[in-house]
Structure 1
Amino acid sequence: MISIGILGTKIGMTQIFNIKGIAIPTTIIQIGPCTITQVKSVERDGYNAIQLGYYEVHSQYLTKAELGHLGKENIKPLRYLSEYKVSSVKTFHLGDLITAKHFQAGQHINISGKTIGKGFTGYQKRHNFSRGPMTHGSKNHRQPGSIGPGTTPGRVFPGKKMAGRSGNTMITIKNLEIIEVDISNSLIAIRGSVPGANGNLLKITTQ
């Protein structure tokens, strides 16, 4: 096991049956391989951390600054970079790979990702508000109604729950259990669901 994080991609959901025949809802995640693109130490940078690169792409998709950063150590163009703090950097070296072999079944991890975007939604769908009466001459079915006082203070307070963009926010689900690890294909199976649609980028950290 490792005490750092890794980047991965959500493949999809399925179910796995245990030895008792109970179906376990499972998410399959493609993790790594991630390349160590930078090592930061207390002496030089003030803290210990490593930077991981994930998902090799053509150089045209990166900026000159990104290409220069990776080119110093002759590392292939990588689309995503993420930094993780570690207690010590003695065991990490530039160009090393972090793969599925660093994880094991039964381990608990935290997973962060962007939720599925739902576009511009009304206040009922966005905030789970109730609707108005549907009968007896009422014409207030899905309207927001009053949104604030009148003359005093004569404005709407910031943070008022109203219609707007829903979803597409970064959230973290903690304490997810690893059910199985497939080292040959760099796959792990997680009990339960993780944020986002299939193909979504995920940031994984250990407990």
Structure 2
Amino acid sequence: MAGIIGKKVGMTNIFNREGHVVPVTVIEAGPCVVLGTKTNEKDGYFSVLLGFGDIKMSKVKKPQLKMFEKLNIPPKKVIKEIRTLNPSSYNIGDKVDVKIFKIGDYVDVSGVSIGKGFQGGIKRWHWRGGESGHGSMFHRAPGSIGASSFPSRVFKGHHLPGHMGNVKRTIQNLEVMAVDEEKNLLIVKGGVPGHKSGILIVRNAKKIPATATIEQKNEDKK
């Protein structure tokens, strides 16, 4: 399996083998249930449809409820597709858990970043800002954004105040520091997008670093 659905538990730190303190993120990875597969012949690509998290029957939409009734599987809160090159090895109802990862693997973690609302240019784009003295009349305002005669317009992509955060982000090449199979916990080095209890997609690393083992590089090709 190329990936799994998880939930961000929070951050902490652990000691590595060299005795150094390493900041890590704890992810509740699975267990997930296989709800279906897609093939290149029928759908144009290969993927596995996974379900994660329980939900009350009263909160499930009717089309999804019919799907779960046909599959004879309890409704799931989160449904995501995971691309894979070998979906035929999975059957509907199969369980996917954190055992697909091991210590030393490298993973890519995708999630939705924390929303910051409408923010100014200093926080959003790290502008320097104006002088802070009392005589200065320019502190945190944008200032000039384009000349009058030429080009008589604002260039596309110009950094300005606006909505910040609440967008999909992927952090690549996070090392797996520990795996707790009993509690379905995956501990990765560094931070991941989103707030606590946010939904995450954990996949095998797409760009395997040079320090990765040969086994991890072969696993990424599956």
**Identical pairs, percent:** 38
Question: In 1, distance between residues paired with 2:198 and 2:154?
Answer: 36
Equivalent residue for 2:113, pick from 112, 115, 120: 115
Structure 1 spans left out of the alignment, 5+ residues: none
What residue in structure 1 maps to residue 189 of structure 2? 191
What residue in structure 1 maps to residue 55 of structure 2? 57
How far has the Cα of 1:29 moved from its partner? 0.6
Equivalent residue for 2:15, pick from 11, 14, 17: 17
Is the Cα contact below 8 Å between 1:61 and 1:79 reproduced in 2?
no
Deviations 1:87-123, CA, capped at 9 Å, x for gaps: 1222100010110112111111100111111111111
How far has the Cα of 1:142 moved from its partner? 1.1
1:42-191 → structure 2 map (5 Å cutoff) = 42-135=40-133, 137-191=135-189
The 3-state SS of whatever aligns with 2:159 is coil
Is the Cα contact below 8 Å between 1:34 and 1:99 reproduced in 2?
yes
The 3-state SS of whatever aligns with 2:88 is coil
Write 1 or 2 for the structure with the bigger share of helix. 2
Does the C-alpha gap of structure 1 residues 136 and 194 become closer, same or farther in structure 2, counting only changes over 3 Å?
Answer: closer
> For the aligned residues, what is the CA RMSD?
1.6
Q: After the TM superposition, which segments of 4 or more aligned residues of structure 1 sit over 6 Å from their partners?
A: none
Relative to structure 2, which stretch is displaced further, 148-157 or 112-121? 148-157
Question: In 1, distance between residues paired with 2:115 and 2:157?
Answer: 20
Using structure 2 for the length normalisation, give the TM-score.
0.86
Question: In 1, distance between residues paired with 2:134 and 2:40?
Answer: 71
Aligned residues: 205
Equivalent residue for 2:31, pick from 25, 30, 33: 33
What residue in structure 1 maps to residue 204 of structure 2? 206
Please tell me the residue identity of whatever aligns with 1:199: S
Question: In 1, distance between residues paired with 2:17 and 2:122?
Answer: 43
Is the Cα contact below 8 Å between 1:11 and 1:28 reproduced in 2?
yes
Please tell me the residue identity of whatever aligns with 2:11: M
Using structure 1 for the length normalisation, give the TM-score.
0.92
Question: In 1, distance between residues paired with 2:185 and 2:134?
Answer: 58
